[in-house]
Amino acid sequence: MCTGKCSKCIGVTLIPLAVVCITANVLLFFPSFEVKYVESTNMLTPEILYLGGIIGGGILVLIPGIHIHATGSGGCCANRCGMFLSIFFAGVGAAGSVYCLVTSALGLINGPTCQDSMGNWTRPFSVSSEFEELREDNYLFEPNMWNMCVEPKDVVLFNIILFGLMIGFSMLELILCLIQAINGLFGCLCGTCINRRARPV
């Protein structure tokens, strides 16, 4: 495949992936789709406040995605300068996707902040939790443990789905950005392969 077409394909794929990461991170601010939990940061996990999906997997991937797509749209292989710049933008996108991946993984491992039956806001599934029996079992595979969180309703499942989406999509972003870095290098070194149309005599 021509490097320009490859860039266009990668760019047009990165854009919706970034939008999904942004959307997932925004939704995490509203457990059970209620606004009241945003009023206090004590009701949200730190990993949500790190904005991994908004900044990392979102903005830092969206901007490179637009540039990479534009590079591929300039012709079959665009130009050497555009391909060279796409390597830099691919690196920025890769860094953003790694940030999103790490923060999302931590959010998934430590679980949500929720209100227990005693009315306390804690992170019962966190690795630093005082509930030793919970730390021994992985809450992700033990749905019967999720009822420890009384409020917000179904917050555990909510967090698992959204952080899981961000992990999966940020991994795809990372792979695509690494492919584009290699693709951009080839496009920069080997030159363009723009199809020349026959000029009328």
Residue range 3-52, pLDDT digits in tens: 778 888 999 999 999 999 999 999 999 998 888 888 877 888 899 999 99
Per-residue model confidence (pLDDT) at position 197: 44
Of residues 101, 83, 33, 97, the one with CA closest to residue 184:
83
Q: How far is CA 27 from CA 20, 44, 71, 166, in A?
A: 10, 12, 32, 12
What sign for the dihedral angle of Cα 68, 10, 5, 181? Answer: positive
DSSP 8-state code for residue 199: P
- Ranges of the chain whose pLDDT falls below 50: 77-78, 196-201
- Return the percentage of the chain with pLDDT > 90, whole number: 46
Name the pTM for this structure: 0.85
Quote the mean pLDDT of the chain: 84
Q: Tell me how far apart the terminal alpha carbons of the chain are, to the nearest angstrom.
A: 31
Please return the burial class of 132, using the count of CB atoms within 10 Å of its CB with bins 0-12, 13-18 and 19+: exposed
Burial 181-194 (b: 16+ CB within 10 A, else e): bebbbebbeeebee
